Chains A and B, each alone.
Chain A
């Protein structure tokens, strides 16, 4: 059964077995507005926790997407590069960004759980 955690930078992380899938939250896509360009990391790249590894551009501005935890990029979602609006339509589903093989299995548990993330969004 998949578990979902969040970061204070409004990314979600879903764990299915050994695979972590990462995207941006519905709150994030709403705040960004209509996305027009997405740049994803190269598969195989090693990233540190908090490292900027993807870029999203809305009609308003550019924003970085960060690696929620350390690991290696295992796969990226080319569909959102072709159609950035997919992230606006399905941020926490088909609009995922990349998959990560984590360096340290304990890192996942340190991320925000859903109540903690909801509480964070409520303060914004």
Chain B
């Protein structure tokens, strides 16, 4: 036990998390805060009503540089990377030849010949090896282990940041800019994983604790851990890699076909394109759906989803939504049962709890324009 905790990587904010009294857990090989003394519900509320600061430094960051960087990366993802304008960011997927999802990631275009990638912690080693193996000699992937990543999210986040970084006020949703915050050079994108307005801030690891302390001193701001983050992203209907999407799920079944750019949909020139095209045209056999359960008992990942007592799918993420004051879940069901309003049941402790297929997100996104 000591060995495994010794083997965990630590965030540049490790000492701050511990000083704040965080409950630390191992996540994707990192010791990360799951919650702070305020508790997950208070952290969730801060993010929905004011602003919350998340440390997501475990995520993988890399720069892809070279005149051919965009067309080379475009060969690995279904998104339109070539048409991504400098200063813009896009959510996309690394797919495999079977049409499965290797990872989901953010790609920002910093300049014609510079892309910045943010990938999942648990996938970063595999992702960067995969990307590197497919780049021409003129394109170089450089991992950024010396950079940390903070997410500052909530309806008041931008207003609170304004005095520290006036330039951010004009940053639009999914725009990215190299910009100083409180004098620290940062790479900032107007995006997040909570369904709220906010930014993600990539910055030198050595400057992170200083900026984190500055942000936490702003009025109404709470530090929030992975527990609140998981709840927020579930309410926002956002997928967690390894749970809601993986190599066995396709973009079509996962409801992520919108990430397949229009021009890519004409020629399907990305890994798994033929498989995904066939599924897109015929319709998937199963689909990711949202479920709202009656009562108060949450259904967790792995719970069977039932129609007339027969299993037609499994829950992939489930918890209790504080916003809706009701249990919510996401999972895959046979396509015939995917229509919002369909009455199903979820098996929890051998009881079939009534559940209704619900359009995602469970609560509306509040992104900037």
| Given known contacts A59-B231, A59-B322, A60-B227, A33 and B35 CB-to-CB distance under 8 angstroms | yes
Binds A, one of B73-81, B238-246, B294-302: B294-302
A74 to chain B, nearest CB (A): 23
| Given known contacts A36-B320, A57-B320, A62 and B40 CB-to-CB distance under 8 angstroms | no
B299 to chain A, nearest CB (A): 10
The chain A residue sitting closest to B35, CB to CB, is: A33
For B319, the chain A residues whose CB sits under 8 A away are: 59-60
For B327, the chain A residues whose CB sits under 8 A away are: 37
Interface residue A109 (Cβ < 8 Å from any Cβ of B)? no
Interface residue B215 (Cβ < 8 Å from any Cβ of A)? no
Query: When each residue 306-327 of chain B gets 1 if its CB lies under 8 Å from chain A and 0 otherwise, what string results?
Result: 0000000000000110100001
Task: Give Cα distance in the complex from A89 to B44, angstroms.
Answer: 18
| Given known contacts A55-B349, A60-B34, A36 and B227 CB-to-CB distance under 8 angstroms | no
Instruction: Please tell me which one of the listed residues A55, A57, A59, A62 contacts residue B227 in the complex, with CB atoms under 8 A apart.
Output: A59
Interface residue A61 (Cβ < 8 Å from any Cβ of B)? yes
Residue total for A at the interface (Cβ-Cβ under 8 A): 14
User: Are A36 and B296 in contact, CB atoms less than 8 angstroms apart?
Assistant: yes
Interface residues of A in 23-79 (CB under 8 A from B): 33-34, 36-37, 39, 55, 57-62
For A58, the chain B residues whose CB sits under 8 A away are: 40
User: Are A37 and B231 in contact, CB atoms less than 8 angstroms apart?
Assistant: no
Task: Give Cα distance in the complex from A39 to B351, angstroms.
Answer: 13
For A60, the chain B residues whose CB sits under 8 A away are: 34, 40, 227, 319
For A57, the chain B residues whose CB sits under 8 A away are: 297-298, 320
Interface residues of B in 5-44 (CB under 8 A from A): 34-35, 39-41, 44
User: Are A34 and B39 in contact, CB atoms less than 8 angstroms apart?
Assistant: yes
B47 to chain A, nearest CB (A): 13
The chain B residue sitting closest to A31, CB to CB, is: B23
B127 to chain A, nearest CB (A): 27
A21 to chain B, nearest CB (A): 24
For B298, the chain A residues whose CB sits under 8 A away are: 36-37, 57, 62
Task: Give Cα distance in the complex from A57 to B40, angstroms.
Answer: 13
Residue total for B at the interface (Cβ-Cβ under 8 A): 17
For A39, the chain B residues whose CB sits under 8 A away are: 297, 349
Query: When each residue 65-101 of chain A gets 1 if its CB lies under 8 Å from chain B and 0 otherwise, what string results?
Result: 0000000000000000000100010000000000000
Task: Give Cα distance in the complex from A55 to B298, angstroms.
Answer: 11
User: Are B300 and A61 in contact, CB atoms less than 8 angstroms apart?
Assistant: yes
Task: Give Cα distance in the complex from A57 to B34, angstroms.
Answer: 16
Instruction: Please tell me which one of the listed residues B39, B296, B297, B349 contacts residue A33 in the complex, with CB atoms under 8 A apart.
Output: B39
Task: Give Cα distance in the complex from A60 to B300, angstroms.
Answer: 9
User: Are A37 and B297 in contact, CB atoms less than 8 angstroms apart?
Assistant: yes
User: Are A59 and B300 in contact, CB atoms less than 8 angstroms apart?
Assistant: no
User: Are B320 and A62 in contact, CB atoms less than 8 angstroms apart?
Assistant: no
A19 to chain B, nearest CB (A): 28
A87 to chain B, nearest CB (A): 13
B45 to chain A, nearest CB (A): 11
Task: Give Cα distance in the complex from A84 to B322, angstroms.
Answer: 13
For B297, the chain A residues whose CB sits under 8 A away are: 37, 39, 55, 57
Task: Give Cα distance in the complex from A29 to B278, angstroms.
Answer: 50
Given pairs A37-B298, A59-B44, 19 additional interface contacts (CB within 8 A) = A33-B35, A36-B296, A36-B322, A37-B296, A37-B297, A37-B320, A55-B349, A57-B297, A57-B298, A58-B40, A59-B41, A59-B227, A59-B319, A59-B320, A60-B227, A61-B300, A62-B298, A62-B300, A84-B296
Q: Which 6 A-B pairs have the closest CB atoms?
A: A36-B320, A34-B41, A37-B296, A59-B40, A34-B39, A37-B297
Instruction: Show the binding face of A for B, using Cβ within 8 Å.
Output: 33-34, 36-37, 39, 55, 57-62, 84, 88
Q: Identify 26 residue pairs between A and B in the complex whose beta-carbon atoms are under 8 Å apart, listed by A's number.
A: A33-B35, A33-B40, A33-B227, A36-B298, A36-B320, A36-B322, A37-B296, A37-B297, A37-B298, A37-B320, A37-B327, A39-B349, A57-B297, A57-B298, A58-B40, A59-B40, A59-B44, A59-B227, A59-B231, A59-B322, A60-B34, A60-B40, A61-B300, A62-B300, A84-B296, A88-B39
